[in-house]
Every structure is written in structure tokens, then in C-alpha cells.
Structure 1
Amino acid sequence: MPFDYKKEYKEFYLPPKAPELVTVPAMNFLAVRGEGDPNQENGAYEQAIGLLYAVAYTIKMSKKGGHKLEGYFDYVVPPLEGLWWQEGIHGVDYSRKQDFQWISLIRLPEFVTRDAFDWAIREATEKKQQDFSPVEFFHWEEGLCVQCMHIGTYDDEPATVAAMQRYAQEQGYVEDFGQSRFHHEIYLSDVRRCKPERLKTVVRHPVRKNVL
């Protein structure tokens, strides 16, 4: 059976609906940076996702080609993730989607080194005849966060975020947005096939101990 990160690391991908604290270790990702409304048709966000999945599946399907990646194991491509922020805003303002800055992510298996990443970019470029230079090898340690599973539309997330904020405060923590610490979403549902009210999204915010 292919290794499935969602099942093997449920603490990061399948949290309960009630908020909880979690410490997220360092991981490597494919990443594309951009800005603007993610709902814009054929916009930068949609193009970024296409680039990410093309490289992700180049790595996954390398098992069928002539280039063997050292340490390769079969796996399920992890879910799409997104880091979101807006200049001058603590957290995010859902009414100002045009002001979003974002980093779209797909987690990389541990066997993917920078050399393997560079090979995948070259391979995808040759096969797709497309520019994959926006795709980065992104190393990131998220650290201490509060998270929970959000069920419903993305526009309904503020209620979930409010519950997370209350929980964090009750536990003696405050949100800790800043450099390398963002509003984080992990998308577990296919928006093309899932009813909006049933969408499953992990919502995660960085926190730190509240020192009075």
C-alpha cells in the first residue's frame, strides 16, 4: 500500500473539530508564491496549483521512468496547503481577497533532496514544455500552533478562527503571526466534487505563550 501522510500523521492532517494545540516539525515542500484573489479564473493562484501538481506527480511517477530516486517509496501525493497573509493585517481579512499574499504548498516525501527536486523541475520542464522556475524547494518548521478541522465554505472560516482564538487564550496562548508564521490551511476536499457545506479544511494558526 502506498504511504499516505494523512493517515500516518493524523495529528497534522485529521484534527478534531474542536481546537487543539499541536507542535509541527520541520518539513520540505514544493512551493509557489503569489498574490491576489485565489478565486480569479485562470489567475495566478490557479496557475500555481497547476505547477505544483505537475512537479509533485513527476516525482511520484518517477518509479516508472529511467531515473531512479534514491530512497524512493510509493506514496499518496499529500494534500494542497496554503499560507495566507495581508500587509498590515493581523491574521486575514476574508472580505479583502484581492489583497491576499500566499504561498501554495505540497509536502515532499523525505527522500526528495534538493538534487531530486532539481531533477524533477528539469523533467517537468522537458515533458510539459512549460516554465517551472516559480516552483521552490521550501524548508519550513511551523512550530507551536492551534488548529482544528473546519467543515464548510472558506468564507465561513471566521467562526472557526474565533473558536481557535478563544481556545488559545483559555490555554494561556496568543496568536503569533509574523515572519514565517502565517494563517495556514490544508485542503482535504476536492472543491470540484464536494458540496461547499461539506468541504474539509484544516485551519492552523501560530501561537506563543502569553507572557503578561
Structure 2
Amino acid sequence: MKVAAELIALQERLGYRFADPRLLRRALTHASMSGPGRDDNQRLEFLGDRVLGLVMAEALLAGDPGATEGQLAPRYNALVRKETCADVARQVDLGAALKLGRSEQMSGGRRKMALLGDATEAVIAAVYLDGGFAEAKALILRLWGARIANVDEDSKDAKTALQEWAQARGLPPPAYRETGRSGPDHAPVFTIEAQLSNGESAASSAKSKRQAEQAAARALLDRLD
């Protein structure tokens, strides 16, 4: 089977060579490019999220045998959240290989946090199906790298961090409001704006309101920093 040069290059960046490259193609295919004979990556994303969660839970337990559940939970959330998955995608330039419909390409889909995070989870699932759990685990540990050891430095979720930033400056807690909703009823995409009383604001989109709020808070924190 002929494999496109961009997929060969991506496999080198991932450090994993697929026995069945069709799995990688599917993992990189956004719903905007799906159609007859071309499946998108949504089902793989669902599976990859669970594989990632198990690997991270194992790694955190092994890395700190004395940690309580209360200590482990925020570390876990920091490692598996969509923003971290998107950072990993940027690390290996996953966006360059995404298969997107014209509308997503025109709107900067290759840089969108939600699309990059989803694709990262889908690639994890593709490796799991192609090579088994051991290969998927090795991929995750390799790509996440020092993030696991240093997770205490960034284990606070973005909404909490933004609220503490505001309180430290005598401002009331940030407000979150839904500014848009798109996509089909069974798979909506929410756009949420985070705003501070001083007028600073940022918006982001995700598949759930909770994720969109976190992403908007993170975007606003990045702007403030």
C-alpha cells in the first residue's frame, strides 16, 4: 500500500510505524472530510481518550505511591485535558497532516485546540488498534515526556487559575457566557467567552460547555501573561 509522504513523515515524528496506515489516515480525518468510504476520527477519539486516561492513571500511581486521590486527580486532569493533547499535537506538527474540509481549512482548523486535541486522541487509538496497548502506552509516555514528572507545576485547571488571578487583583470572579453554538444536534460545538470585570476577554469553542469554558479561561490567561 502506497503511503503519502506526509504520513511517513508524521510516523517518524511520532516514533511509530503503522502496519496498517489506513488507521492513521482515519485518525487524521476530521468530520468535515468524512463521506462514503471515508470514515472520520470521532470513534477513534472516543477510544483514544480512554487509553490515554488509563496510561496516565498508571503513570501517576507509579510515580508517586504515597499520593492521595485528592492529589492525583488534578494532576490527572492536567495531563489528559484537551489543551495538553493539543500541545502534544503541536509538538509533532500533527496539524499539518489533518484531513479537513474546505470550511475548516479556511477557518484555521489546523491550529484549533479542539481539532488538534481530538486528533491526538484518535492517533493514540489508531496505535492501540494497530500495535496493541504496549505500543500505545509507549507512544503516550514518549510524547508526554517531562509533562508527567512536572505535572505539579501546572495541575491547576484554567478556570481556577483565572479566578485566583482575578481575586489577587481585587476583581470579582470571571463571567462565562455562551456566544455561539454550531454543528448538528447530536454533536454540538459550543463557543464560550470568558470575561473579567476590567474588560479583558477571550473566547474558545469545544464539544462541551465545560471544555469550552476551560479553553476560554486558558486563552484569557495566556493573553494576560
TM range, normalised to the smaller chain? 0.3 to 0.5
Q: TM-score, normalised by structure 2?
A: 0.33
- In proportion to residue count, which structure has more helix? 2
Which of the pair has the greater relative contact order for Cα pairs under 8 Å at 6+ separation? 1
- TM-score normalised according to structure 1 size: 0.34
Tell me which protein shows more strand as a share of its residues.
1
